[in-house]
Structure 1
Amino acid sequence: MTAPHVHASHPEIVKRLKRADGHLRSVVEMIEQGRPCLDIVQQLHAVEAAIANAKRTLIHDHLDHCLDDVVGAVPRAERGPIDEFKAITKYL
């Protein structure tokens, strides 16, 4: 069996996703209660943003740690392509 793949950011990501899960459950209740569409869409937008932020954090963490395991630590002066890749991930 493989050892768990856990990084320092994972507990924070789990916390964010649990919060998003709670918001999503609230959205379902809002729909069932017949709440106004604008209120529902605002909450859905918040859920979507929370999940996107969790995904971005996980990708950045992977780049910062897992990539270093493969290629070795990269000096700050040479991290330009990695930093650029991290910046571009916001468009995923």
Structure 2
Amino acid sequence: MAENTTPADIKPVLNRLRRAQGQLNAVIAAVEGGGKCRDVVIQLAAVSSALDKAGFQIISTAMQKCLNDPEDTTDPMTVEELEKLFMTLA
């Protein structure tokens, strides 16, 4: 994330990533322990969703900063570049 990103910007992203990490650990444990296919897939879907939401949060924060201060050079991404990143998650 950009150098000028505040702790308030980072906290929700870290929370989502930690949630995804916990869910991924549960998937790994279920696979290692012979868990039911249905349960593994449900947990895997939860991991995927948590990662997507973290990515969207990062892009959203970057877009807001880009639009609010287009002259900021600490993270020199253009709106077009951010849109492309957004679309990779969509």
**TM-score by shorter chain over 0.5:** yes
| Corresponding residue for residue 66 of structure 2 | 66
| Corresponding residue for residue 54 of structure 1 | 54
| Corresponding residue for residue 24 of structure 1 | 24
Unaligned runs of 5+ in 1: 73-84
Partner secondary structure for residue 62 of structure 2: helix
Unaligned runs of 5+ in 2: 73-82
TM-score of the aligned structures, taking structure 2 as reference length: 0.71
Structure-2 separation of matches of 1:70 and 1:4: 15
* Bigger Cα displacement from structure 2, 10-19 vs 63-72: 63-72
- Say whether the 8 Å CA contact 1:31–1:40 is kept in structure 2: yes
Residue by residue over 1:12-46, the C-alpha shift from the partner in whole angstroms, topping out at 9 and shown as x without a partner, is 11011011101101110000000111110000000
Partner secondary structure for residue 35 of structure 2: coil
Residue type of the alignment partner of 1:38:
R
**Percent of counterpart pairs with the same letter?**
33
| Corresponding residue for residue 5 of structure 2 | 6
| Corresponding residue for residue 33 of structure 1 | 33
Structure with bigger gyration radius: 1
Structure-1 separation of matches of 2:64 and 2:43: 31
Partner secondary structure for residue 9 of structure 1: helix
Residue by residue over 1:64-88, the C-alpha shift from the partner in whole angstroms, topping out at 9 and shown as x without a partner, is 013422258xxxxxxxxxxxx5xxx
TM-score of the aligned structures, taking structure 1 as reference length: 0.70
Provide the aligned length of Structure 1 versus Structure 2. Answer: 78
